[in-house]
Amino acid sequence: MILTWEIVAAFIVVGGAIAGGFWRIWGLIDQAKKDAVVRAEAAIALAGVTRDELAAHKLHVAETYTTKAGMAEQTSQIMKAIDGVSGKLDHLNGRIDGLMKPAAPRSRAGG
């Protein structure tokens, strides 16, 4: 077999095509890696911001809203106040009933 320039040129073209394809695929892989790193860094930053916002919200809830024990104490105080008002209303009804009773006639003394 004789090695001619056409055969050498064909090998160079085929080798160049293979090398070019490999180089293109390698570039796409590198670009995908870079994109993945950027997205991962963005996700990490977003997770950090979300964690900080959640901590701030938990602190706000703890400062603003009451606990079950605090709510039970407030309810107890309100019920005591309502009972006191109820007792005063019962006493007031008795006083109003006393005012509505007809007065006994007074005897006139004297002449």
d(CA 6, CA 89): 118
d(CA 53, CA 59): 10
| Contact by Cβ (8 Å): 74, 66 | yes
> Which tokens is 18 given?
């293979």
Dump pLDDT digits (tens) for 29-84: 999 999 999 999 999 999 999 999 999 999 998 888 878 888 888 899 999 999 99
- For 82, which DSSP code? H
For residue 67, the model assigns a pLDDT of 80
d(CA 58, CA 100): 60
d(CA 51, CA 42): 14
Q: What's the distance, Cα to Cα, between the start and end of the chain in Å? A: 169
Q: Could you tell me if residue 110 is left (phi over 0), alpha (psi between -120 and 50 degrees) or otherwise beta?
A: left
Tally the residues of the chain. 111
For residue 3, the model assigns a pLDDT of 84
